[in-house]
Chains A and B, each alone.
Chain A
Amino acid sequence: MRDITLGQYFPCDSVLHRLDPRLKIVSLIAFIVLTFCAFNFYSLALVGATVIAVVLLSNVPVKMYLKSLKVIIIIVIITSLLNLFYGQGEPIFQWWIFKVTWAGIYNAIFVCFRIIFLILFSSALTFTTSPNDLTDALERLMKPLTVFHIKVHEIAMMMTIALRFVPTLLEETDKIMAAQKARGADMESGSLVARSKALIPILVPLFVSSFRRAYELAVAMECRCYQGGDGRTRMKQLKLMKRDYICIAICLLVIAGVVLCNIFLPQIR
């Protein structure tokens, strides 16, 4: 129940942990776009070097990154294989309807690395940014949307609460499961129908207690005069520091590097 690695905060201290979360989100988007704009091996290698640098700078054990890659390894293999057989041009190897071309091989390699880089970049963000910082930053970044009457603060608050209650609900589920097992509930055996029926004694109490918690939380928030986002000040003000500006500079350099590689260095394929 507890092994959910993708999108988990890893608390420790590093330059990346201390960076402004808004900046981290924006640079994540920039790097993802960049990964898909790397058209030749030189620019792909540059993005790869950036990924490795980010992973090392984050101070998070490499094992954690590998764990999050494990989840998507099948997707990587399938997309790479599809790309391998759908290349245009002269076939270098052919068997039945499958033909392998140089273009296909290139495509497969590019797709494979792009997905891996994508996951590594996003994992780096979630490993180094606490859920609270993340929603805080999203709220700030989406602020311009208030012009369109989108309730940015409410959305961010909902996200914060949802994230906050994930571990609580997991714990609650464990408890209810144990209690029903003590009354002889059998969840490990039987047909699919029997097993889904066995979920009722767990889901009903879980829903009931979620509603109760939601109600209690709402009352507790109102007791502390919460009235939504209007006129609310914050304790932690996000402010760009020297290290944030350095980070912006580095990001711009990498972007420029990839663009230059794309334009001036030869396409291998």
Chain B
Amino acid sequence: MSLLNVRDLVYTYSLGSPLEHTAVDSVSFTIKKGEFIGIIGHTGSGKSTLVQMLNGLLKPTSGTIELDGVNIWAKPKEIRRIRFQVGLVFQYPEYQLFEDTVAKDIAFGPTNMGLDSEEIENRVYRSAEFVGLKRELLEKSPFDLSGGEKRRAAIAGVIAMDPDILILDEPCAGLDPVGRDILLSQIYHYHRERGNTVILVSHSMEDVASVCDRVMVMNRARLEMFDTSQNIFSRGEELREIGLRVPQITSIVDNLIEAGVPLSKGVLTVDKAVLDITEYLKKEGRL
């Protein structure tokens, strides 16, 4: 069943002025329920504009977005409901924290949804658990947390709305490598446990390759490719042409293949590469 159906989406900034600039140009795609989608692309390729249209923050210049078969702009007055259904975590979301305790800040979204206080409390605890925030932090001021904890608190604030689709715009930007891995695996577990659809916008090919089922490649406002991660990252040459690259491990394996080692293309994780290479070595009798 298709959950999100996007047709011929166009967004133009400053329409009709000399600064007119099309950020998203005739983009169409369909996303099924429960998929983990990655969006990669250069800075300024239209990724952020695209995701802001998906939750109704920006109104498309033309084209339609259907959520569960209903055009999200059919009733403009009820666009707020769409924003609860499609949760968007912005880049550097820690700068949006404002309440005096972390718990109250996480509760901001659910409170706006008009839920009762028991349900809100439940959701605060559950979403804090998902992002790995300890209980004792919930009563602290968000401004006393470390950078990584603030980021988690902000993400929890969106997860607490229990959206059907969770969109994260560069959730790992500016975190240290260990923090990145932990956050990413928490997002992955959230996706697994709830069966929700997640869209991850990222600059890091490694991140996208390790968690996403399918990947969109944006280039100059257009949707250049949309396929499974394995297929996308087997097209290293094309990616390089538009200024992207493949994950390091994929390019190592690609080089090995070029050097004559019979491995399969499109390896996305180090674990898989280790498995393939040991198998090959065993077959050769070198191990």
> Which residues of A come within 8 Å of B, CB atoms?
175-176, 178-186, 200-201, 204-205, 208-209
Contact = CB atoms under 8 A, between A and B. Distances in A.
B108 A182 contact: no
Contacts of B97: 205
A183 B90 contact: no
B87 interface: yes
Contacts of A175: 90, 95
Contacts of B11: none
Contact of A205 (B57, B96, B157): B96
Given A181-B57, A183-B109, A183-B157, A205 B80 contact: no
Given A205-B96, A208-B143, A182 B87 contact: yes
B55 A182 contact: yes
In this complex, the member of A178, A184, A205 whose beta carbon has the largest number of chain B beta carbons within 10 angstroms is A184
A164 B55 CA distance: 33
A183 B89 CA distance: 9
Contacts of A182: 55, 57, 83, 87-90, 158
Given A180-B108, A182-B55, A183-B108, 9 more contacts: A178-B90, A183-B83, A184-B108, A186-B80, A201-B98, A201-B108, A205-B98, A208-B95, A209-B95
B52 A178 contact: yes
Interface string B104-124: 000011001100000000000
Nearest to A201: B98
Query: Per DSSP, are chain A's interface residues mostly helix, strand or loop, or mixed?
Result: helix
A183 B158 contact: yes
A176 B96 contact: yes
B90 A184 contact: no
B108 to A, nearest CB: 6
B157 A200 contact: no
Size category of the binding interface on chain B = 20 to 34
Nearest to A204: B98
Interface in B53-95: 55, 57, 80, 83-84, 87-90, 93, 95
26 contacts: A176-B95, A176-B96, A179-B90, A179-B96, A180-B108, A181-B83, A182-B87, A182-B158, A183-B83, A183-B112, A183-B158, A184-B80, A184-B112, A184-B113, A184-B161, A185-B112, A186-B80, A186-B112, A200-B98, A201-B98, A201-B108, A204-B98, A205-B97, A208-B95, A208-B98, A208-B143
B96 A180 contact: yes
Interface in B17-66: 52, 55, 57
Contact of A184 (B89, B93, B98, B109): B109
B285 to A, nearest CB: 58
B161 to A, nearest CB: 7
A209 B95 CA distance: 7
Contacts of B84: 184
A184 B80 CA distance: 6
B57 A178 contact: yes
A204 B130 CA distance: 26
Contact of B95 (A181, A185, A200, A205): A205
Report, nearest first, the 6 A-B pairs whose CB atoms are least far apart: A184-B112, A204-B98, A179-B96, A183-B109, A182-B88, A179-B90
A50 B155 CA distance: 60
A189 to B, nearest CB: 9
Contacts of A185: 108, 112
In this complex, the member of B55, B83, B98, B109 whose beta carbon has the largest number of chain A beta carbons within 10 angstroms is B98
A208 B96 CA distance: 10
A182 B143 CA distance: 21
B128 to A, nearest CB: 16
Contacts of B52: 178
